[in-house]
Chains A and B, each alone.
Chain A
Amino acid sequence: MQNLDVDLLVIGGGATGMGLAWDACLRGIPVVLVEAQNLAEGTSGRYHGLLHSGGRYVISDPVSARDCAAENAVLRRIAPEAIEDTGGLFLALNDDPEDYPDQWLRGCHEAGVPAREISLREVLAREPLLTHDITRAFEVQDGALDSFDLLHALHLNITRLGGMVLLGHRVQALRREHGHVVGAEVLRPDDGTIVTIHARRTVNAAGPWAAQVAQMADVDIPLALGKGTMVAMAERLVHTILNRCRLPGDGDILVPVGTVMVLGTTDVPVEEPGDRSIEPWEVDMLLAEGAALIPSLPDRRALRAWAGVRPLYRPPSDEDETRELPRSHVILDHAGDGAAGLISVFGGKLSTFRLMAEETLDHLALALGNNQPCLTTEVPLFGDEASYYTLPSRLRTIEDRSDPDKSPELVCECELVRRADIERVLERRGVQELDTLRRELRIGMGPCQGGFCGYRTAAIVQETILDAPPDGGLLSFLQARWRGNRPVAWGQTLRQMAFTRRVYMDLFHAQDMDGGDA
């Protein structure tokens, strides 16, 4: 039993919650954040990687477009190392509505989204794999934002500023006194520890689980869940983020991320926040839509698929569909619902997490007796010297190594991860889940999907971490890769899955190993 007394309790370790805790720290508000699983375990870690320019929403949701445009500029300033400055294109094709592009361009000017028409010749020179069916093309400031990098940086900054982040801590109950929410009881299932947190204000930033948290205070929130499925192609087929210049729909975004390219997304209403099942039609549809932009796509290898659940705000009138729901966020103070002290924040985009935090804290700060201004638009998350992430940066590190007589000890050839990189993360974080290494280093995310690096990484973990399970986490790591491969298990990906089994079950007979609790 442990007691904590803070001004602010944040529930949820996604981008919104971590943004809130960081902002609170910078304002000098004592804060603790609890996360039931791991950082970015929910929606933040299961998205397509697109830092929105705002262009996508200028017609359907101008408020969201304006927010995205402003936040895009802020994030480029404060978190460049988590961003790859790919730029973006909006492309109108032959069969798309002819009047949409002009309407869209006007919308961009009104919403403050920088956009510029460029010639088809220039587009095709930049992206040779694109269809020639393009009628008009516009350049915008999309980028690829690595949410794992972003959340790790937030975590470091929060901890450095004295905030507390409790991972693997699940809220059991909200503490209530005289109709006020005054904190929570949280349980750490790993060892049964119970922590009682007394807080003057509690923010529910649990994403798709926000309705369950609000329910603990007998509050219903208008939350709709929209599942989005994404497919990663095994190659980075484009340099630039591609959007269709038409009303947002399924399968109309292509995002180059690291060594792969992500096709996104679908939008399927679901009931359960953990419903991440993927239907074959979703995958087929994403590939077919992608082929409208890149005709050779059907001959390319789909590497894996995953789904995330969007926590969306459903205005009172709307029915079942989730695609039409606004993407802007809402902040609900439950003082009027008999739960003073509890605030829910949901909706919004990963791109607007910082703004959601700022607005929530502006609303709360006065009640907490704090009148400090928000600093998150100005304080760099990665230090003053940070610059944009670029794909060749890892290769450069390897080629520039100080001692040319020493081998680089590459563990993951696909993503160029060295043994030293793994040891650094293990030392700093004391983790033993290979999945954490994957999030930080992209290990196992390339074309071999752990076929080679799984053995090396697990063995290094097993050598380095005293209480690692006998398999070093190998089996659960391979299983996690397997799960992502299954929805696209045909062609080369099915061959690669057969290869993995051949190595680990035939050559190594790893199937009987003790994988610890996994």
Chain B
Amino acid sequence: MTKVHVVGAGLSGLVAAILAAERGADVTLLARGRGGLELSHGCIDIWHDGDLRQELPSIASGHPYRMIGVDAIEKAVQAFLRIVQPSGLGYLGEFRHPLRLPTAVGSLRRTNFAPLAQVSDDALGDLPCLIGAIEGFRDFFPAMIRRNLIENGFSVEGIVELPLPGHPARDVYASDLARLLDREEDAGNVLNAWQRRLAGAGALRLLLPAVLGLRDAGRLHRKAETIIGMPIQEIPTLPPSMPGLRLEWVLWRAADAAGVHLVEGPQITSPPDVMAGAGRVEELMAETAAGERRFPADAIILATGGILNGGLKALQDGRVVETVFGLPVSGVGLRDEWTAERMIDRQPFERFGVKVDAALHPVDADGRVLLENVHVIGGLLGGADRISEGSRQGIDLGSAYRAVEVILG
């Protein structure tokens, strides 16, 4: 049985672990902390501008998509949809025509696949809607959303204040509301109070912050629509982002069901001989509370993320370090050129990452494979402008799928 270690428990690490376990590998998922899903809208961005299959040849050669290939990306998304299918989150969408979904400032965000709760049947926004302001919840501002959605051509009837029976006398986050609504009795009280408030409102759908539950959100969304009597469209707001955490929960359960072993908390390091150019990693080392542990492995999938999620560390002295194996990081240049002058422009630091070959092996500047049983996936891959391309989850899923395919055939 092939021993596969996956380092990192964000979207790409979790999906890689599940896929590898499903194909019969003995998989251990090493998670230092929470993955990046806490910051995620829960949607799958693949390519915002046109058909990726047609665009691919014009994408720069260092881009991860050129290594992963469109077939792997499409298969990866199919696999993802299959994995999340039992959850009831009900992902909708397609590869070639992005959805346009309202955001918490009232602009429209493009994505390829989204959970049902975020998608309206009415993509143009013609159906008159109400925006719900939930009592005591400060991370959602209906007036701003209304103004900008109207500028984007939405038909907004108005804003409705929704009571929150039993809400605590402190500032609540999206996660507090979601946990409250996860409790059957509280959800019933809240939804019934909303139904009374909305009776006879005349609108054809309700926009709400994405707070309808965490653990069984698909079911709660359907229940809420039934009680209230109109479609509900959820909008992700400030982190902790519920749609991302729902997805994380679903993937954790799927990993568990597939037999993935989970080791939480350790900082993974490489044995000293790796840096001496061994060309192969026989085992990983981990600092745990009980002391040093070793994890012998046939193959290793490195899914530790980029700058934001800790797979890369940028230092004052101008170096950018890959935190597990010290792999070379491409695209670094001078420290004062890491960022662009304007926040909204493309940022050089977001292209930092490890260069790989078509099997996702880490390679050096000349393209030579550095570690033959290590595969790099997700946010650690360099060369992409994930935000402006709208490619983040496509890279995460596609590289996860591709790595498992290479390791297990």
- On A, residues with C-beta under 8 Å from B are 280, 284, 287, 298, 404-411, 419, 452, 455-456, 458-460, 462-463, 470-472, 474-475, 478-479, 482-483, 485-487, 489-491, 494-495, 497-503, 505-514
Pick from B109, B110, B168 the residue with the most CB of A within 10 Å. B109
| B194 on interface, CB distance cutoff 8 Å | no
Surface stretch bound by A, among B21-29, B119-127, B169-177: B169-177
Most A Cβ at <10 Å: residue of B109, B144, B147, B350: B144
Bound-state CA distance A377–B195 (Å) is: 64
Interface, chain B (partner A; CB < 8 A)? 39, 41, 103-110, 136, 138-139, 141, 143-144, 147-148, 151, 168-172, 236-239, 241, 306-308, 310, 313-316, 335-336, 338-339, 341-344, 347, 349-350, 386-387, 392
Contact across chains for A513 and B107 when beta carbons are under 8 A apart:
yes
CB distance from A201 to the nearest CB of B (A): 43
Question: Cα distance A463–B107 when bound, in Å?
Answer: 16
Shortest C-beta distance, B41 to chain A (Å), equals: 5
Q: How far is the CA of A411 from the CA of B141 in the complex (A)?
A: 12
Docked complex Cα distance between A479 and B141 (Å): 21
Smallest Cβ distance from A18 to chain B, in angstroms? 32
**Which one of B104, B151, B172, B316 contacts A470 once the chains associate, using CB atoms below 8 Å?**
B151
Query: Closest residue to A511 on the B side, CB-wise?
Result: B344
Out of B110, B144, B172, name the residue touching A459 (CB < 8 Å): B144
> With a CB–CB cut-off of 8 A, which chain A residues contact B239?
503, 507
- Please name the 10 residue pairs, one residue from A and one from B, whose CB atoms are nearest each other, closest first: A459-B141, A509-B109, A498-B308, A482-B343, A463-B143, A459-B144, A511-B344, A490-B314, A462-B144, A508-B103
Residue of B at shortest CB range from A500? Answer: B343
Residue pair B339, A489 in contact (C-beta under 8 Å): yes
Partner of A287, one of B138, B151, B316: B316
Q: Are the CB atoms of B313 and A513 closer together than 8 Å?
A: no
Distance between Cα atoms of A497 and B345 in the complex (Å): 13
Inter-subunit contact A463/B238 (CB<8 Å): no
**Identity of the chain B residue whose Cβ is nearest the Cβ of A512 in the assembled complex:** B107
Q: Is the CB of A509 within 8 A of B339?
A: no
B170, A407: Cβ atoms closer than 8 Å: yes
Q: How far is the CA of A228 from the CA of B341 in the complex (A)?
A: 21
B386 to chain A: closest residue by CB: A506
Given contacts A405-B169, A459-B143, A491-B316, contact A513 B307 (CB under 8 A): no
Question: Given the complex of chains A and B, what is the CA–CA distance between A487 and B337 in angstroms?
Answer: 10
Asked whether B136 lies within 8 Å of A508 as measured between CB atoms, the reply is no
Chain A CB within 10 Å — which of B103, B110, B344 has the most? B344
Q: Given the complex, which residues of A lie within 8 Å of B306, measured CB to CB?
A: 498
A407-B171, A463-B144 given; A490·B316 CB < 8 A:
yes
Look across to chain B and name the residue whose beta carbon is closest to the beta carbon of A479.
B343
Given contacts A419-B138, A501-B347, A513-B105, contact A406 B144 (CB under 8 A): no
Q: A462-B143, A479-B342 are in contact. Are A509 and B148 (CB under 8 A)?
A: no
CB-based contact B41/A507 at 8 Å: yes
